Amino acid sequence: PRTTLLFVSPKDLYTAPDSCEGRCEEPYSEEDECHCNAECERYRNCCEDYDRHCRPEGFSRSWDSITDEDLLHISEQLYKADHNKARPTDITINPQYQASPDETGDQEDRSPQPLYKYVNEELFSKPTYASFIKLLDNYQRATGREEDVTAEELREQDNFLKEVMKTELMKKLFAFLHKKNRYDSEQEFVADLKEMWFGLYSRGNGEQDSSGFEHVFSGEVKKGKVSGFHNWIRFYLLEKQGIVNYFSHNFDGPWDTYPEVLGLQFSWDGFYKEVGSAFIGCSPEFEFGLYTLCFIARPGRACHLSLGGYSLSIQTYAWTKSTYGNGKKYIATAYVISS
């Protein structure tokens, strides 16, 4: 007689470590790589499929979940509150060549002129811009090189956070997150911003060589390519010094005022960036605020927003290899999806 082999499906034997299937409301354990209890939303350490498996029907309408409608509404509010953004007369850009999708990787400079024809540098004396610019020279761009953070640099981080929190835009963002039960106080929010953006982690071999802020705003070089670098002010300052060379753009957003969005190809000291999306002409707090919102509300997923009646999506990723606080994740990257 033939023997019948009974196969037990692997999912009957154990639960995938990165899934919430069968794990809803499981008590927190620091050994788990992601979590499935009610607190995980607050700590941004839920498994990707938490919503699917663990939210009771109708929970998405409960007062402290952040719905897709909430995101469209708050992003329009933040857009209107960006009082420090560039006026149309403050910036003149010259985008020149538009690259097709199959041209973005070929490292050809198809735009002989710089991207920025004119920037009114009086913008940079506004407190949030001035404190932001001070942070840009605090980093070694090569991954694998330990960051040496001085007391002065820590003061510059605190000063930047202090200045952005004075703005209506960041106050609105805090009020929204407070209402959604993510933070009890502005002090708790600022302390968390400092960790998630400025806390150091290792992209190399264990050296504390990177942070969300460095990656997103200042830019890094990894394996011979530009990594991160999504900020227009940084781009303008380096282009003016002749260190950045603009090649082409593959995306030009629908806005006829600032902030605008471009997808760029450029070289930084000989290192190439195939698509570096950037808001153009927004204030530092606008970009910082939107990326924070999306990282808290939709980490690891496309976060759909609305700016001036136009839709826009931001992608963020959490750094998964180290955590802070009660298993909270650092920002690995955040950028506008520009395709």
Catalytic residues: 215, 230, 273
Radius of gyration of the chain (CA): 22
Task: Retrieve residue 327's tokens.
Answer: 């298993």
Cα–Cα distance, 310 to 293 (Å, whole number):
18
Cα–Cα distance, 192 to 182 (Å, whole number):
11
Query: By CB neighbour count within 10 A (0-12 exposed, 13-18 middle, 19+ buried), where does 304 fall?
Result: middle
Cα–Cα distance, 238 to 94 (Å, whole number):
16
Strands 310-324 and 260-268: unpaired
Cα–Cα distance, 281 to 260 (Å, whole number):
7
Strands 302-307 and 271-280: unpaired
DSSP 74-135: HHHHHHHT-TTSPPTTTEEE---PBPPGGGTTS------S-SEEEE-GGGGGSHHHHHHHHH
Query: Computed from CA positions of residues 72, 73, 77, 80, in that sequence, does the dihedral angle turn out positive or negative?
Result: positive
The CB-side HSE value for 332 (13 A sphere, CA atoms) comes to 15
Whether the CB-CB separation of 181 and 42 falls below 8 Å is answered with yes
Closest CA to 37 of 22, 21, 52, 54: 54
- Residue carrying structure tokens 């180290």: 322
